[in-house]
Amino acid sequence: MRIRTLFTAMPLAVVLATACSQKSSSPTTPSPSSGGGSSNTVKGKTVGVLDGLAEAGMSIRVGGGQAVVSDSSGSFETNVNGPGTYEALIQGAGIVDRDTTVTVPASDARISLIPSSFDLTAFNELARTNNSQLQRWVTQPALVVIGTVMQYSADVQDGYTASGDTLTDAEVSSLTTQLTQGLSLLTAGTYASFSATTVERPDPGTSVSIKRDGKIVVGRYTGISNGGDGVIGYGAWLEQPDGTVRAGVIYLDQAFDKTDNRRQLLRYHELGHALGYEHVTSRTSIMNPELGPDPTDFDRQAVAVVFQRPPGNRAPDRDPTPVSTYKSIGPGSHWAAPVR
């Protein structure tokens, strides 16, 4: 059986957030020093993004100045012209070049580095396919469980009709528990639980809006597998132009989610889409288009990298400058549309 989600925008103008321009070695507008002084010293440590262990012998160049090398503990120290936000380039054997920013003064800058052995091809499929930049949540999502089965239609963008069938309390509890477990797994423990969980049971015939800012809304639907093409679920998310994910939706086929013992894999997979992840085709992953594999070591490593990088991070490992996130839904936001 197949699960499919197509990530094309609805008919709404899409504004790309981060322009591909060359970075300047000069600082941006200086930020006030937390200590009130004018220190120009940068002290920090280079560590592995997957294990947190020291990365020694790395070349660190901040603000276009002279490069310094991290010692056996990963520690380094360098100076710049004054307070501000500077480009930092980190290079070395066995790691992917890191292009990020450092706000000066800094006494504990921790710069995590991706090992060169990490599968960037699959990672780009998972987290950087949409607009060629990393997309993820930056706030703890809430969960809304629709306890009434709804009627799916590919012609409906929002406002699905509730049927007369409902989920039992035990089914709602199981769904909530598994999605909570999946949230912790697929965010590398960043979000161990949802910020809140709400169960709604709309009356038959009611139109239900499922696209809600700050929430992941999950429900069972009839009509998903119509046509015999094996589709058993969909997932979608609301993305800001800078890659920040603000909302998500999980569509579960009523028959499959009610009766098939692989329902947990389906729920994890569609939750991945609601978090902003896309299909991986180059290796085994919980995000493969074909349902089947349990979460893999790659999945665990990939989501750990995702949540140690800001939205807008681009291949091979380049952070946006300056790092910023949207506070609310703004112009250019768009939903990934669940289309067969």
Of the candidate ranges 30-39, 62-71, 253-262, 297-306, the one whose mean pLDDT is the lowest: 30-39
* Predicted local distance difference test score (pLDDT) of residue 42: 93
> What are the residues whose beta carbons fall under 8 Å from the beta carbon of 259, sequence distance 6 or more?
none
**Binning pLDDT at 50, 70 and 90, where does residue 39 land?**
confident
Domains of the chain (ranges, CATH numbers):
8-15+133-337 (3.40.390.10), 41-113 (2.60.40.1120)
Is the pLDDT confidence value at 330 over 80?
no
* Predicted local distance difference test score (pLDDT) of residue 293: 86
Mean model confidence pLDDT for the chain: 86
pTM: 0.86
8-state DSSP, 132: G
Strands (E), the chain: 8-9, 41-48, 59-62, 68-69, 75-79, 84-91, 98-104, 106-113, 136-137, 142-146, 148-151, 160-166, 197-200, 207-208, 215-222, 233-239, 244-253, 334-337
203-214 pLDDT tens trace: 999 999 999 999
Nearest to 115 by CA among 322, 308, 287: 308
77-101 pLDDT tens trace: 999 988 999 999 999 999 999 999 9
Is the pLDDT confidence value at 195 over 90?
yes
Which region holds residue 132: left if phi is over 0, alpha if psi is between -120 and 50, else beta? left
Q: How far apart are CA 121 and CA 224, in angstroms?
A: 31
